[in-house]
Each structure stands twice: as structure tokens, then as C-alpha cells.
Amino acid sequence: MDKFIIKGGRKLHGEVTISGAKNAAVAILPAVILSDEPCVVENVPTISDVTISLRILEEMGAEVTNIGKDAYRIDPTKITNTCVPYETARKMRASYYFLGALLGKFNKARVSMPGGCPLGDRPIDQHLKAFSALGAKYTLSQGMVDLTAEKLTGAQIFFDVVTVGATMNAMLAAVKAEGLTIIENAAKEPHIVDLANFLNSMGANIMGAGTDVIKIRGVEHLHGTTYTVIPDQIEAGTFMVAIAATKGDAIIKNVIPKHLESITKKLEKIGVNIEQYDDSIRVWVDGPLVKTNVKTAPHPGFPTDMQSQIATLLTLAEGTSIITENIWEQRFRYVDELRRMGADITVNGKIALIEGTGKLMGAPVKACDLRAGAALIIAGLAASGVTEIEDIYHIERGYDCMEGKLRALGADIEKVSVPDTAKNSTDKASAKSDKEAV
């Protein structure tokens, strides 16, 4: 088991470059299945969710070649297997994108139900509603979702909730369906637009991605393409908060400032200085940090995936802040760990009350999900003393070389391997299999 050891108290300085967006890459890689020719995908982050996606593609019969830093050539033309078994699917929540991509290409798919996860109940009813509207029939049995369709036909799909995953899956399944599909109450995240741009670069006809109505006119064939994944908005936001929490001054490169607007606005309210350039930003703190309130919401609102990081910053600010988590019911599980570091946070349902104490103290803690892990790193960087973070496999699912990038900014962080004792390894193996899909 690896863990991070952080000696806190160093201000972050210098430059950091953001990698490709996880939540775009995990949809774009399965989307390659829809192409009748090989595709090249660039700016793919080196994270374990990507490794798993590529492994699933290979297990299906695709030929995957790493053609340089962060770029892959994927030839989907020899895919014969349309099943993603439990053993692979459980490791990554986003394996559900193989449902939409396989259905869209082969009119059938068999994918293990994404497992439970540490964020609470994660239903896929809206994904199934979209597939049904397009003409697919589904069965759920023994933990597998089976989809079949004689043919897919364009349809009107109105989502009951704003959902990123179901919006992407509806696009994947509809892109080759006959006629016009209209998705209403669609999610508007930057990765939705990125998936649409990727599909359009293969010859798809998708309009309106980034608004709440997406129109898709089905096409018969999709051709090969070379495509660059957008920078990761949440990785950028995480570094913004890390720089602010250490009262540092650094440049974050390879970002789309527009994607960071809701995060930038909140950080400015807290007292963080941010200067935007074309594809980079400078973040620095030269005064006190002050309280603010944050409510998570679908894009363009404040992203739930930045909630734990900004909460950590608010423990270092003056005054009482209120955080309202509106997307995931169990996204405050990191609070117990932050309390071990001296944070004063009370949680009641979807509301957390943070009494800023202005300081944190190092402690041994555990990452309980990806963004919780990022929050603990930020806490460790700002805290006095040493913080040891266990279960960092959660962090490595979604952050590309986090410790290397932080070290380059002057942080004292190292990754160490700790040999498991027999009991420890049993406990951790079962904990890991429970928690893997996020």
C-alpha cells in the first residue's frame, strides 16, 4: 500500500501544467468504439481510470498503442466482444459509458452494473430511460445490464435530473440512430462539450452541447480522427486551492479560464488573487482569507468535485462558512479526517458548518474517495507538522502525478510504499474492493 507523507508549511511557488480532463477522457475512450477507423486521442491523463478504460478496450479486441506522452492510437475495427465483466467494471464508475458506446455501434451491450461507491446511491435510471427512448430493451440480472435493439431511432429524451453520465450516454447511443434525437434538461459540463466535439470530429452531427438542449441528427458512419482532450477543470481548481491554502504564488498552465469561472469567483470572495491569461492563470494570496458560503450545483454552478477542497481552505479562513452539497449525499465523509487535523466542522445532512480556525495540524489520515483525498493533500500542505495519507489509490484514479507536480512547486511530499501485514492486507483488500468504483 502506498501513502503520501507531507511535511506542511511550505508556500507553493513556480509553475504547474494541468493534464487532460479525467471526466472527458473516460467518455471519449469508449466513444472510439463508434468509429469505423482508428482514432488518435491526445492529452490523455496518466491516471488509473484511464488505464482501466484502455484495458477494457483491449479486452474487447481493440488495438491500443501508446504513441508518445499522453497520446494513444486506438483501432476499434476488430472489436468482437461487447461485454464488460464485473471484475473490470467495478473498478471504475465510468465503465457505464461502454453501455452507450457499444449500444450505439453494435445495437447491443452487456456491462456489469457500476458498483456502489462512497458518494452514496448512484442510480442509472436516467441512462436506461434514454436507451429505452431510442428503442433499446434492457434487462438487469445478476448484476449485469443487458441492452439490445433491433435498430435505434432518434427520440425526444427529457431527463428528470441534470445528469452528466446519462447525457453523455444518450449522446453515445444516439449518434448513429436514425433521425433526430433531442435531449432536454441536458447537463452542460465542459466534458459534455468535449465529448460532442470529439464525436463531431468523427463526422457526427451534434448541436447545442453546453446548453440544456442537445440535438443529434444520426449519421451512418463515423470516421477516424485525431483529437486533444480538454484540460482538467477540477485538477486546475485543486491546484488553485492548494496554492491559496499555502499562501503561495504560482502559475497554472494549460487551463481554460472560462471553465474555472465558478471556482475563481468563490476563491476571490475568500481573498485569493487570480489573474487570467489566455490559457493559464496566476494564483496568489497576500492578505487574510475570509469566510464564504458555497452551494454545489451542476455546471455552471460550483462543482461538487471541488467541494471538499474549498471546504479545506475555509477551515483556514476567518469566520463561519456554510457549505451545501446538493449532488452527492455522502460527500462529507472527509470531514472526520479533517477534524483529526484540528478542523472545526459540523455536518447536518447536506450542510456543513465550518468554523475557520486559521490553522491545521498534521495527522495520519485516510482518503475515502478521490476528491476527499485531494482535500487531505491540501490540508497536509497547509498544516504544521507531518501528515500521512493512506489509501491514496483513490487519488491516483483521477490526478496525474499529483505528488510530482506538487514537489515541483516546492512542496515537501513523498510517496512511500508500506508493506502490508497479513491482517492489514485483508482489511485493505476488502475495503478497496468496496470502494473502487467512484
Query: Is residue 194 part of the contact set for ligand EPU (CB under 6 A)?
Result: no
Nearer to ligand EPU, 4 or 96 (CB): 96
Nearest to 387 by CA among 399, 378, 395: 378
Under 8 Å between Cβ of 304 and 331: yes
- To ligand EPU, the closest distance from the beta carbon of 432 in angstroms equals 17
Nearer to ligand EPU, 24 or 289 (CB): 24
User: Which span sits near ligand EPU by CB under 6 A: 66-74, 124-132, 145-153, 311-319?
Assistant: 124-132
- To ligand EPU, the closest distance from the beta carbon of 199 in angstroms equals 16
Specify whether 368 is catalytic: no
- To ligand EPU, the closest distance from the beta carbon of 171 in angstroms equals 13
Under 8 Å between Cβ of 409 and 250: yes
- Binding-residue pattern over the window 394 to 433 for ligand EPU, x denoting contact by CB under 6 A: ----x-----------------------------------
Query: Is residue 79 part of the contact set for ligand EPU (CB under 6 A)?
Result: no
Count of residues that interact with ligand EPU, criterion CB under 6 A: 23
Query: Is residue 140 part of the contact set for ligand EPU (CB under 6 A)?
Result: no
Nearer to ligand EPU, 244 or 368 (CB): 368
Nearer to ligand EPU, 251 or 372 (CB): 372
- Binding-residue pattern over the window 350 to 379 for ligand EPU, x denoting contact by CB under 6 A: --------------------xx--------
- To ligand EPU, the closest distance from the beta carbon of 20 in angstroms equals 13
Interacting residues with ligand EPU between 214 and 273 (CB under 6 A): none
Interacting residues with ligand EPU between 92 and 121 (CB under 6 A): 93-94
Of 25, 124, 352, 411, the residue at the interface with ligand EPU (CB under 6 A) is: 124
> Quick one: the chain helix, strand, coil %, rounded to 5?
35, 25, 35
Under 8 Å between Cβ of 254 and 21: no
Query: Is residue 50 part of the contact set for ligand EPU (CB under 6 A)?
Result: no
Nearer to ligand EPU, 70 or 305 (CB): 305
Query: Is residue 165 part of the contact set for ligand EPU (CB under 6 A)?
Result: yes
- To ligand EPU, the closest distance from the beta carbon of 329 in angstroms equals 8
Of 327, 341, 360, 375, the residue at the interface with ligand EPU (CB under 6 A) is: 327
* Cell representation of residue 163: 445528469
Query: Is residue 163 part of the contact set for ligand EPU (CB under 6 A)?
Result: yes
Q: How far is CA 126 from the centre of its chain?
A: 19
- DSSP 8-class letter at 32: G
Q: Where are the alpha helices (DSSP H) in 32-163?
A: 48-60, 86-89, 97-106, 125-133
Give the contacts of 281 (CB within 8 A, at least 6 positions apart).
236, 240, 251, 252, 255, 257, 260, 264, 274, 275
Of 304, 307, 312, 315, the residue at the interface with ligand EPU (CB under 6 A) is: 304
Query: Is residue 14 part of the contact set for ligand EPU (CB under 6 A)?
Result: no
Please give the Cα distance from 106 to 366 (Å, whole number).
Answer: 42
Q: Decide: residue 418, CB within 10 A, 0-12 exposed, 13-18 middle, 19+ buried.
A: exposed
Under 8 Å between Cβ of 263 and 300: no
User: Which span sits near ligand EPU by CB under 6 A: 125-133, 261-269, 307-315, 404-412?
Assistant: 125-133
Q: For the stretch 144-170, what's the b/e string if a residue is b when 16 or more beta carbons lie within 10 angstroms of its beta carbon?
A: bbbbebeebbbbebebeebbbbbbbbb
- To ligand EPU, the closest distance from the beta carbon of 403 in angstroms equals 18
Give the contacts of 203 (CB within 8 A, at least 6 positions apart).
219, 221, 222, 223
Interacting residues with ligand EPU between 329 and 348 (CB under 6 A): none
Query: Is residue 33 part of the contact set for ligand EPU (CB under 6 A)?
Result: no
Please give the Cα distance from 168 to 149 (Å, whole number).
Answer: 19
Of 33, 145, 166, 409, the residue at the interface with ligand EPU (CB under 6 A) is: 166
**Residue whose C-beta lies closest to ligand EPU:** 165
Q: Which candidate in 39, 117, 368, 401 is catalytic? A: 117
Element containing residue 381 per DSSP (H, E): helix 370-382
Under 8 Å between Cβ of 184 and 212: yes
Of 26, 50, 267, 285, the residue at the interface with ligand EPU (CB under 6 A) is: 26
Cβ atoms < 10 Å from Cβ of 348: 8
* Cell representation of residue 313: 481552505
- State the residue for C-alpha cell 476567518: 318
Catalytic residues: 117
Positions touching ligand EPU (CB under 6 A) are: 23, 26, 93-94, 122-127, 161, 163-166, 187, 304-305, 327, 370-371, 398, 438
